[in-house]
Chains A and B, each alone.
Chain A
Amino acid sequence: MEFLIELLISAMIVVGGVFALVGSFGLSKLPDLMARLHAPTKATTLGIGGMLIASILYFAFIERTLSVHELLITIFLFLVAPVTAYLVAKTHLHKNRDRQDTAQFQLPPPAGTHKAGWATFNKSEKQSRTEIR
């Protein structure tokens, strides 16, 4: 039983380390920002999730003290990762809005039959209201 739990903790640490490494490798090697954004927000978050599971198991079964700090960190990181990715992507889109001529910054046309564009470039309700006045 002891051996099984040690094996599980070690496996979780190794998996977490590999995922973190893959995420950072993607951040370093992928060609442009929109591709780079995928690596850290998914792989690195998953990697740290593995490490936190390992930490919970270690302190619960080997040190015999149950701590909820890891759970707090996990929940916080998993909630925050999409928000960060969204903000970085939005900043990228808005900063390179006027550089549509170069192929690297060209946005794909909206899919489907409807004529909606990129929602982040639409005028907000407040803006259009002040324009009407």
Chain B
Amino acid sequence: MIEYATYFGFISIGLAVLMNLHRLIVGPDSINRILALDTLTINTIALFILFGIWQGSSTNFEAALLFAMVGFITTVAFCKYLLRGDIIE
């Protein structure tokens, strides 16, 4: 039963990633693209976790944690750059 649930999860997250890519490409300005990129990283973390459940191994969590941190820092840096024209003043 868990196997089928994971397949459902894979399909729904794949669709979500496709929608994020649509917003990333279409997005009228840079802020929309930043938001799409942030959502893309969160969906990728979900994909990592699902893959860990599917494989039954817990080695993917380090990658997921790193992805969460790098995604957050990326978003903050992009926003700061657009706000101030500089990241570290």
Q: Which residues of A contact B (CB under 8 A)?
A: 6-7, 9-11, 13-14, 16-18, 20-21, 23-25, 27-28, 33, 36-37, 40, 44-45, 47-48, 51-52, 54-55, 58-59, 62-63, 65, 67, 69-70, 72-73, 76-77, 80, 83-84, 87-88, 90-92, 94-95
Chain B facing A: main interface SS: helix
The A/B interface has a contact count, at CB < 8 Å, of 151
In Å, the complex CA distance between A94 and B84 comes to 10
Q: How far is the CB of B72 from chain A (nearest CB, A)?
A: 5
Chain A facing B: main interface SS: helix
Whether B36 lies near A27 (C-beta < 8 A) is yes
Q: How far is the CB of B25 from chain A (nearest CB, A)?
A: 11
* Contact partner, A73, options B16, B53, B61, Cβ 8 Å: B61
Whether A18 lies near B12 (C-beta < 8 A) is yes
Residues of A within 8 A of B69 (CB): 76
